[in-house]
Amino acid sequence: MKMSSKRQKSEVLFANAKLSIPGGVNSPVRAFKSVGGNPVFMERAEGAYLYDADGNSYIDYINSWGPMILGHNHPTVVEAVKLQAEKAFSFGTPTQLETEMAELVKSLVQNVELIRFVSSGTEACMSALRLARGYTGKNKFIKFEGCYHGHADPFLVKAGSGLATFDIQTVPGIPAGAAMDTLTAKYNDLEGVMALFAQYKEDIAAVIVEPVAGNMGCVLPERGFLEGLRKLCTAHHTVLIFDEVMTGFRLAAGGAQEKLNVQADLITFGKVIGGGLPVGAFGGKKEIMECLAPVGKVYQAGTLSGNPLAMAAGIATLSILKNNTFIYHQLEQTTSSLASGLKNAFSSKGIPVVINQLGSMISVFFSEHPVRNFEEAAVTDIPLFNRFFHHMLDQGIYLPPAAFESWFVSAAISDAEIEKTIQAIKTM
């Protein structure tokens, strides 16, 4: 893949990074391995824009894979972190900040009675699964093909995100025992889930699902799918876990539960909840959450869980979202106009596309057929997506560097950026 000559510094930085960091990256999806070429090293960001090591600017449609919903360097969030940094970075003791953050989340997500903070979405999901298993005394759980719940062993079965992008079907280093209780079904295939319950009856501890999938590209739940999971879990005393690491505080202040009006038993959070600093969380029914140590015996811990700097960024971010819910209407409008602009631009070039979009989550699939699960996402035109990605990058538009990822629109993206994005397609 020809690299633009205007990113020479990134090339040098990448070569150096590979001497000390596997693949030169600290997370595989950043490596451009599926789209080809070398990753761009960013140096700073402001609002809707990223600025790379060579001084090029890009409209940002990845926003740190979701966290930067307000845009980069929102002054109120920056100020909150600065103020906290002058007091202390970390104590390893309880702080009032954590209670403030917990109360803020509870005010936004009604069925979170208790919440535990951790430092990543992976930690949130692995802890929620352990909790569901400890609470029910059962081991099996159901996940969906193409969904990604972080990189803890039990979840790396038919997973989405980087595993789908790199077509990693089995991950070396995961003992059979760690994944033997992982059952999988197709997203949107309620009958497949019913068949698993018919087979395993009361032995299923949990069903974990991305209520709107983002890790096979954006794929929406079909009518009745989530409601059906709710009914099956209630009937079989199975814990329904909504993995809202992507959708939480993004699709609405109350996340996918508010947007889609379906209630889970446990909810996991990440990304937006930390405003760009490392925060994950899981919460839900008191009866379940009180199985966690030190109240119960389900052990889970973390040195930097509830870190004051991260709490300060999270509180500032969620407070802005709570007090300005028009932001969600604005995000919906901006992303809808992006969706229609993309559709029109590609159809005027005779290129068939499927645009999946809900709120500020959106994906472009090069296909003539709907994309409702991973199987259908996997047969879309990936080489064309890769060409599209690099064309847009050279036009100063940064998309997620993989077809099996959702784009994330921020509140800093205005009609001007949408217009520029659509114009860029015309020269493809």
Binding ligand KE4 (rule: CB under 6 A), the pick from 217, 270, 283, 308 is 270
Q: Which is nearer to ligand KE4, 376 or 405 (CB)?
A: 405
How far apart are the C-alpha atoms of 410 and 104, rounded to whole Å? Answer: 21
Nearest by Cα to 146 from 165, 130, 132: 165
Nearest by Cα to 112 from 325, 247, 286, 270: 286
- CA–chain centroid gap for 118, Å, is 16
Residues in 27-86 that interact with ligand KE4 by CB under 6 A:
27, 29, 65
User: Which of 52, 271, 328, 398 is flagged as catalytic?
Assistant: 271
Residues in 350-409 that interact with ligand KE4 by CB under 6 A:
405
Residue 312 vs residues 87, 108, 113, 324: alpha-carbon distances, Å: 11, 17, 21, 18
Q: Is 110 in the site for ligand KE4 (CB under 6 A)?
A: no
The first and second tokens of residue 300, run together, are 């889970």
Q: Is 217 in the site for ligand KE4 (CB under 6 A)?
A: no
Measured from the CB of residue 199, what is the shortest distance to ligand KE4 in angstroms? 26
User: Which of 135, 148, 187, 398 is flagged as catalytic?
Assistant: 148
Instruction: Look up 259 and say whether it is catalytic.
Output: no
Binding ligand KE4 (rule: CB under 6 A), the pick from 39, 146, 211, 214 is 214
User: Which of 243, 265, 328, 398 is flagged as catalytic?
Assistant: 243
Q: Which is nearer to ligand KE4, 255 or 341 (CB)?
A: 255
Binding ligand KE4 (rule: CB under 6 A), the pick from 11, 54, 98, 243 is 243
Residue for token pair 């990604």: 148
Instruction: Look up 297 and say whether it is catalytic.
Output: no
Site string for ligand KE4, 156-175 (x = CB under 6 A): -----xx-------------
Sort 44 into a burial class: Cβ within 10 Å, 0-12 / 13-18 / 19+.
exposed
Instruction: Look up 243 and say whether it is catalytic.
Output: yes
How far apart are the C-alpha atoms of 215 and 301, rounded to whole Å? Answer: 27
Sort 303 into a burial class: Cβ within 10 Å, 0-12 / 13-18 / 19+.
exposed
Q: Is 122 in the site for ligand KE4 (CB under 6 A)?
A: yes
Binding ligand KE4 (rule: CB under 6 A), the pick from 149, 158, 250, 390 is 149
Q: Which is nearer to ligand KE4, 248 or 341 (CB)?
A: 248
- CA–chain centroid gap for 216, Å, is 11
| Cis-peptide into 294, omega within 30 deg | yes
Q: Is 246 in the site for ligand KE4 (CB under 6 A)?
A: yes
- Nearest-5° Cα angle at 9, 8 to 10: 90
Q: Is 148 in the site for ligand KE4 (CB under 6 A)?
A: yes
- CA–chain centroid gap for 341, Å, is 24
Q: Which stretch binds ligand KE4 (CB under 6 A): 35-43, 147-155, 198-206, 227-235?
A: 147-155
Computed on alpha carbons and rounded to an integer, the radius of gyration of the chain in Å comes to 21
How far apart are the C-alpha atoms of 268 and 122, rounded to whole Å? Answer: 9
Q: Which is nearer to ligand KE4, 138 or 149 (CB)?
A: 149
What is the amino acid identity at position 294?
P
Binding ligand KE4 (rule: CB under 6 A), the pick from 105, 125, 216, 264 is 125
Residue nearest to ligand KE4 (CB): 121
What is the amino acid identity at position 296?
G
Q: Which stretch binds ligand KE4 (CB under 6 A): 74-82, 243-251, 330-338, 390-398?
A: 243-251
Q: Is 307 in the site for ligand KE4 (CB under 6 A)?
A: no
How far apart are the C-alpha atoms of 149 and 242, rounded to whole Å? Answer: 10
Query: Could you list the residues that contact ligand KE4 (CB under 6 A)?
Result: 27, 29, 65, 120-122, 125, 148-150, 161-162, 210, 214-215, 243, 245-246, 270, 280, 405
Report the catalytic residues.
Answer: 148, 243, 271
